[in-house]
Amino acid sequence: MPLREVSELLYPAVCETVASLELGSQDAAAAKLAKRYARIIDEANPGKDYAWALRWLGPELHKVLESLGATPAARAAIKRAEPKPAAPAQVSKLDQLRQARGKPA
């Protein structure tokens, strides 16, 4: 593996991200795949090999991280999908009048 600045490596960043997620055992394969993609990209030789790895494996790594909920867009989608507290059922004006007169709704 060619020497690179640590700040340029994806593998440590992916490992840190995966470790910070609350993943279950059902997510182990996806987490391992994300780490593997990152390592392959990091180990690519500078130049065309590195450009190839980024071009073809970068989007695949992004998809895996997204499926794990590790991207801003994925977290926003998860947040939107969280159930909101149900609002109390509103009684229509007609039903209110019926109740006031003692008739069933």
- Residue 12: which domain range? 6-101
In a domain, 66, yes or no: yes
81: in domain: yes
Assigned domain for 30 exists: yes
- The total domain count for the chain is 1
Within a domain: 49:
yes
Residue 1 lies inside a defined structural domain of this protein: no
The answer to whether residue 55 sits within a structural domain is yes
Residue 11 inside a domain? The answer is yes
pLDDT at 2: 63
* pLDDT for the residue numbered 75: 82
pTM, to two decimals: 0.70
Q: Among 41, 39, 49, 43, which residue's Cα sits nearest to residue 3?
A: 43
Sign of torsion, CA 13 22 82 61? Answer: positive
> pLDDT 10s per residue in the chain (105 long)?
667 777 889 999 999 999 999 899 999 999 999 999 999 999 999 899 999 999 999 999 999 999 999 988 888 888 887 777 766 778 888 888 888 888 665
